[in-house]
Amino acid sequence: MKRFSLPDLGEGLTESELVSWRVAVGDHVELNQVIAEVETAKALVELPAPTAGVVTRLHVEPGTTVLVGEALVDFAPDGETAPLPSVPEADRPDVDRPSGAADREPVLVGYGPRTASGERPRRRARAAGDDTPAPAHTAPVPERSRPRATPPVRRLARDLGVDLGTLVGTGVGGRIAREEVERAATDLSGQLPERARGAGAAPAGTPEVTATAADGSVRRPITGVRRRTAEAMVNSAFTAPHVTEFLTVDVTPTMSLLDALAHSPRTGDHRVNILTVLAKAVCIAVRRTPAVNASWDEAAGEIVEYGHVGLGIAAATPRGLLVPNIARAEELSLFELADAVSDLVRTAREGRTAPAELRGGTITISNVGVFGVDAGTPILNPGEAAIVALGAVRRRPWEFEGQVALRHVVTLSLSFDHRLIDGEQGSRFLVDLGTMLSDPAMVLTMV
């Protein structure tokens, strides 16, 4: 038998939630075939099969949080079968973990963790405290047994605020059933909360609804991407001194350029829009003001100015805000940048952003204009010095060549870390962006 455990997905992540299985017991899978989806604190990740064979056992059910190194699925090599059960255990012990690098199984998304010895890890203790035996004159304290319940039932109890330790299971071996948890929740609140979904995980991209109260309010658990986003934003807001500046510019020439590109055979299938032009402008303006493409290294006592642009694009997804980035964006042409932005946003909204695409960002663009918003005060992506917000392009009366005319106007917002960037530097960078959007030909004077 070959056992596949949850691999190390990077970024110091120690656990993931199993969202869905793509296979069932008895299915034959090929090497690298996607077998499951897991949600980390950053993204939805597809797990590929590490081998070809037949699925003989699924160790966990959707909705279960799994630690790195815990067993997920067992395979039998082609031509072999094994009568292993497929029902997850209520009390899963720690799994066998190899002791050396030679025994670690490489997979496409990482490696399982290394343990200090080759011994089988013991079952986790059921009660708090150490393993030191009680003195002879002290009566031993009986160990509190863990309530027996399947992972979905445990999750339901947690969502409904029911302590499983107060229930007596009537199932096989004293196992607590779903109905008993719901009955306890009814006794506590006087009515059973309306569940928006079953015990399994929500479909990818669907916010999880835990319960709807009598007054219509909805409660959702703070998990995954949403929790990580909240922690990052709070940390950024209260660590970096934010300054935000605004610049409203006439972008009619850029809109005319986009219209020309849309009808040009050279454009082909490339989707060039105002966001693409801004992305290119950011890459060019960074060369003139490198302080905006930097980070504050407190531990080293240094300011790090990057030699490349990891261009982050803030993407709103059903699971929360993600900021995947385009590596070395300054090396891409306008059409290549258009393709990269389109692919990045589509992948993020589909929940398929790889963890590697969320690392290495150096400066970010947030397109709030797509929601019809004119301007905002964006919060810095942690570790970065600047973020640009693109507002909605609107037709407005505007002074043009000594007269008032209807022009395409947009507001740019720039938030920056005042520890790294002075007002003069931030203002120059923002004006450079506005200059290129108001007159694309001015790019020739900046490269």
59, 308, 408, 418: which one is catalytic? 418
Task: Reduce the DSSP state of residue 295 to 3 states and report it.
Answer: strand
Nearest by Cα to 209 from 218, 222, 217: 218
DSSP at 110: B
For the chain, the farthest-separated pair of C-alpha atoms sits apart, in whole angstroms, at 98
Q: How far apart are CA 48 and CA 69, in angstroms?
A: 16
Active site residue 270: no
**What is the token pair recorded at 49?**
């099969």
What's the helix, strand, coil split of the chain in %, to 5?
A: 30, 25, 50
Q: Angle, to 10 degrees, between the axis of helix 151-160 and the axis of helix 178-189?
A: 10
Residue 196 carries which DSSP code?
S
Q: How far is CA 69 from the centre of its chain?
A: 20
Q: CA-CA distance, 152 to 149, in Å (whole number)?
A: 8
Pair 148, 164: CB distance under 8 Å:
no
C-alpha dihedral, 10 to 13 to 19 to 21, nearest 10°: 50
Residue 406: strand, helix, or coil: strand
Beta strands in 132-173 (DSSP E): none
- Three-state SS at 100: coil
**3 state DSSP class of 153:** helix
Residues 112 and 110: their CA atoms lie apart, in Å, by 7
Catalytic residues: 418
